[in-house]
Structure 1
Amino acid sequence: MGAETLVNNGEAQLQLEAKAPVILGLQPLALVDHVARVDESLLDQIPGETGGSIPVEITELEHILSQLKKHIVASADDRCPMKTMAGGSVANTIRGLSSGFGVKCGMIGAYGDDEQGQLFVSNMNISGVNISRLRKKKGHTAQCVCLVDALGNRTMRPCLSNAVKVQGDELTKEDFSGSKWLVMRYGIFNLEVIQASIRIAKKEGLSISLDLASFEMVRNFREPLLQLLESGNIDLCFANEDEAKELLRGERNTDPEAALEYLSKYCRWAVVTLGPKGCIAKHGKEIVRVPAVGEINAVDATGAGDLFAGGFLYGLVKGLSLEECCKVGSCSGGSVIRSLGGEVTPENWQWMYKQMQIKGLSLPDIRN
């Protein structure tokens, strides 16, 4: 009887893993992005540093949106000078993994019972993402305005106040059971749900990926971040060059290599992206440096790091080498910056597959 029970339990676990998403994304607040290419004069009017991301109140968000029509810069490459889509760093990564790489993915979070909430759910569902772990709540869905300058750099102003979100005590083991990876983005306002997710995910055997979010987030809330990293619970960490510098603020050496060395003390995989210069990564004693994909027409940098992370995670799931993971990340990160917004167009997925072939990488088995 005992042996039969073990067999049945084993079969049940296999069935669970077959149904569960391979990669889960934790985004406590569903978020809708309003992305537009604008002239410099609008950026000069907005409080905060250009190129970063700081939260604003709804009145400020509505003011920026009301000013957009006066400042939008049209381009022959853009079918629409402004795009509205499901957004957020984790959503960008998960959507890309599902639609571009064919990886079974799901999202954990909450959305409001409003037009923006329905748009978020619809966009993720169409992209093949499992939305069964998204909670619908009465209230507003978070929004973010993403302003893109002539060089493709983006300035982001998210409005998170009064938006619905999932709380740590709402999470259950069923949210995580059977999955392999949990993808998260650092945020001080989500620290409680991040910590709760880590506790459950680790008990369920998931590996955890963390993106450092923005240089302002690292600068202003560095101590809780260091505690999170040094806990040893983060298996994979992504930082861009600016975030890496802020991470080591006050140290004698704050270059990307020093940040990589610091991150690798606590994370099994550490990656620092360097924009046009590519990336550096470390796993165990192995260190690789991979250049960016050449000849990229950078229209909008929104989602570049998110899609890089998606490509890298795809490589890990497929058992690729550290260098190959970086190469896939470089290709996928390059694909999203060729058009406006954090969602890759079908044409740019084809561009990415071609780049992967050039680099000798096997193409993903995409669903028909």
Structure 2
Amino acid sequence: MPGTQFDVVAIGNAIVDIIGRCDDSFLDRHGAPKGHMRLVEPATIGKIYETMGPAIEISGGSAANTVVGVASFGGRSAFIGKVAEDEFGRIFRHDIRASGVSFNTPAVVDTGRATSRSLILVTPDGQRTMNTFLGISTDLDQGEVDPEVIKAASIVYLEGYLFDRDEAKAAFRQAVEIANGAGRRVALTLSDLFCVDRHRAEFLALIRSGIGILFANESEILSLYETSDFDEAVKHVARDTKLAVLTRSEKGSVIVSDGTPILVPAEPVKKVIDTTGAGDLYAAGFLYGLARGYELPMAGKLGSFAAAEIIGQMGARPEVKLAHLGRMRGLIG
């Protein structure tokens, strides 16, 4: 979009991801529901960390993964999120900037609150189970929302995980108001099935009042509209927003534009290594394509391509620049 500094600016939880492998019995011993995210205290993460194998530590969080993906495509992206002035805060800040994302939210000093972190356990079938300590990232409020950064974005992307506190909800509504006032597009990801269960009514109100682009996977959209019929959920979402992007794993994705469904096939994957970040990277490809003026089917194809690349490796950071891989495949110029 002319006059914008960034293709995508995201607001979300600033989390340091600690990623390691385990088997199903390890999850059972620690009471971790396979394939889902649960909120835990630092003591629980400590107990799991002590007994797990080798791990890697990188800047994470759903929306942060997405804007790193946009940068990997060669896009211009920024992130707004809250960290403490501690070891994990420094890890997050350095890593996300090194990935090519603008991140200038000031770190918070001496509050007694620690930077958020998530211990991600990956089983041999590639499923990831997240044990997340929502530290200071959930303290995000209107003070962190920089109006000039919001106005400088073609698309503002909001992470549903942040909806657990009233202050963060107020920040979201502030960002929506600023973006809409500046003629920018606003996108929301529902983030997680349990997140939808907790905030269904408020999500629906937000979607209907100012969200132009909605991202959800199949279980999330079914939960949002309290139905077991995907086609029924599509009809509902078509009435509530102009553009919805619904991912369905190996079934591909469905883009619902002005009530019309567009089917996008999944990209083939030789072997699923780790599903961490699949939805986040799909969003990255789609948003990059949308911001750069690609037609919707092609934006969806870029999303499927990015998701397929990320589940073929460990972690949610592309090992090879998506711009390079996309050019090799003839997907981007």
TM score, norm. by length of structure 2: 0.91
Equivalent residue, structure 2, for 1:60: 44
> Unaligned regions of 5+ residues in structure 2, if any?
none
The alpha-carbon deviation at position 58 of structure 1 amounts to: 1.1
Give the conservation status (yes or no) of the 8 Å contact 1:172–1:200.
Answer: no
**What is the letter of the counterpart of residue 92 of structure 1?**
N
The alpha-carbon deviation at position 334 of structure 1 amounts to: 0.7
Work out which of the residue numbers 22, 29, 46 in structure 2 matches 1:38.
22
- Range with greater deviation from structure 2 (183-192 or 267-276): 183-192
Pairing 1:197-276 to 2, within 5 Å after superposition: 197-231=175-209, 233-249=210-226, 251=227, 254-276=228-250
Give the conservation status (yes or no) of the 8 Å contact 1:109–1:165.
Answer: no
SS of 1:259's partner is helix
Pairing 1:181-196 to 2, within 5 Å after superposition: 181-187=155-161, 188-189=163-164, 190-196=168-174
Equivalent residue, structure 2, for 1:21: 6
| CA 1:162–1:306: 2 relative to 1, 3 Å | closer
Cα-to-partner distance string for 1:46-67 (whole Å, 9 max, x where unaligned):
3353211121111111111112
Give the conservation status (yes or no) of the 8 Å contact 2:156–2:186.
Answer: yes
> Unaligned regions of 5+ residues in structure 1, if any?
1-13, 70-80, 364-368
Pairing 1:146-185 to 2, within 5 Å after superposition: 146-161=120-135, 165-185=139-159
Question: Aligned equivalents of 1:198 and 1:57: distance in 2?
Answer: 31
**What is the letter of the counterpart of residue 40 of structure 1?**
D
Is 1:300 aligned with 2:285? no
- The number of residue pairs the alignment matches comes to 325
Cα-to-partner distance string for 1:278-337 (whole Å, 9 max, x where unaligned):
111111243211111113321000000000001011111122222111111100111111
Shift >4 Å, 4+ stretches: 347-353
Equivalent residue, structure 1, for 2:75: 103
Give the conservation status (yes or no) of the 8 Å contact 1:38–1:150.
Answer: yes
Question: Aligned equivalents of 2:69 and 2:144: distance in 1?
Answer: 27
Work out which of the residue numbers 80, 88, 102 in structure 2 matches 1:116.
88
Work out which of the residue numbers 74, 86, 94 in structure 1 matches 2:67.
94
SS of 1:205's partner is coil
Pairing 1:68-87 to 2, within 5 Å after superposition: 68-69=52-53, 81-87=54-60
SS of 1:136's partner is coil
Give the conservation status (yes or no) of the 8 Å contact 1:256–1:272.
Answer: no
| CA 1:352–1:255: 2 relative to 1, 3 Å | farther
Give the conservation status (yes or no) of the 8 Å contact 1:315–1:324.
Answer: yes
**What is the letter of the counterpart of residue 107 of structure 2?**
K
Question: Aligned equivalents of 2:270 and 2:323: distance in 1?
Answer: 14
Question: Aligned equivalents of 2:24 and 2:198: distance in 1?
Answer: 26
Question: Aligned equivalents of 2:187 and 2:268: distance in 1?
Answer: 27
Cα-to-partner distance string for 1:7-62 (whole Å, 9 max, x where unaligned):
xxxxxxx8xx46x32311112x4210011111111110233532111211111111
Question: Aligned equivalents of 2:303 and 2:107: distance in 1?
Answer: 32
Question: Aligned equivalents of 1:288 and 1:44: distance in 2?
Answer: 40
Cα-to-partner distance string for 1:92-135 (whole Å, 9 max, x where unaligned):
0000101x211111111221111111111111111111112x12
Is 1:136 aligned with 2:113? no
Is 1:288 aligned with 2:231? no
| CA 1:352–1:258: 2 relative to 1, 3 Å | farther
Q: CA RMSD in A?
A: 2.0
The alpha-carbon deviation at position 153 of structure 1 amounts to: 0.8
Question: Aligned equivalents of 1:107 and 1:163: distance in 2?
Answer: 13
Question: Aligned equivalents of 1:89 and 1:303: distance in 2?
Answer: 7
The alpha-carbon deviation at position 352 of structure 1 amounts to: 4.9
Cα-to-partner distance string for 1:208-259 (whole Å, 9 max, x where unaligned):
111111111112321211222222x11111111111221122x4xx333322
Percent sequence identity is 28
Question: Aligned equivalents of 1:137 and 1:164: distance in 2?
Answer: 13
Cα-to-partner distance string for 1:121-151 (whole Å, 9 max, x where unaligned):
111111111112x121124110001111111
Give the conservation status (yes or no) of the 8 Å contact 1:85–1:119.
Answer: yes
Give the conservation status (yes or no) of the 8 Å contact 1:173–1:204.
Answer: no
Question: Aligned equivalents of 1:327 and 1:226: distance in 2?
Answer: 27
Question: Aligned equivalents of 1:270 and 1:47: distance in 2?
Answer: 34
| CA 1:192–1:48: 2 relative to 1, 3 Å | farther
| CA 1:82–1:170: 2 relative to 1, 3 Å | closer
The alpha-carbon deviation at position 348 of structure 1 amounts to: 7.0
Equivalent residue, structure 1, for 2:33: 49
Question: Aligned equivalents of 1:265 and 1:34: distance in 2?
Answer: 40
SS of 1:315's partner is helix
Give the conservation status (yes or no) of the 8 Å contact 1:238–1:309.
Answer: yes
Equivalent residue, structure 2, for 1:8: none
**What is the letter of the counterpart of residue 102 of structure 2?**
N
SS of 2:6's partner is coil
